[in-house]
Amino acid sequence: MSIRILFFASLADISGVREMKVDASGLTDLRSVFDKFAKDFPLLENHRTSVHIAVNSEFARPETPVHDGDEIAFFPPVSGG
């Protein structure tokens, strides 16, 4: 199973990656995907409670299942004025 991962803004800076394809075998939901990357890039853990996640361009919850071919995007919180 393969998924495409996108990191935006400060999360791309933390991971050093903007986009990658990964083997998602064993990753069942968005929480497990985030867990994998927090292990690979420990500073991501500091953003766990504020990160927004989208699957195939739709915002989703951590318990959302992951499927082959999904595009998963991680966004930091955004503010404006």
DSSP 10-23: HHHHHHT-SEEEEE
Give the residue from 67, 41, 45 showing the smallest Cα distance to 56. Answer: 67
Q: Which residues contact 27 (CB under 8 A, 6 or more apart)?
A: 1, 3, 33, 36, 66
pTM: 0.91
Q: Domain 2-75: what homologous superfamily?
A: Beta-grasp domain (3.10.20.30)
| pLDDT value for 32 | 97
- In this predicted model, what pLDDT tens digit does every residue of 1-58 receive, in sequence order? 999 999 999 999 999 999 999 999 999 999 999 999 999 999 999 999 999 999 999 9
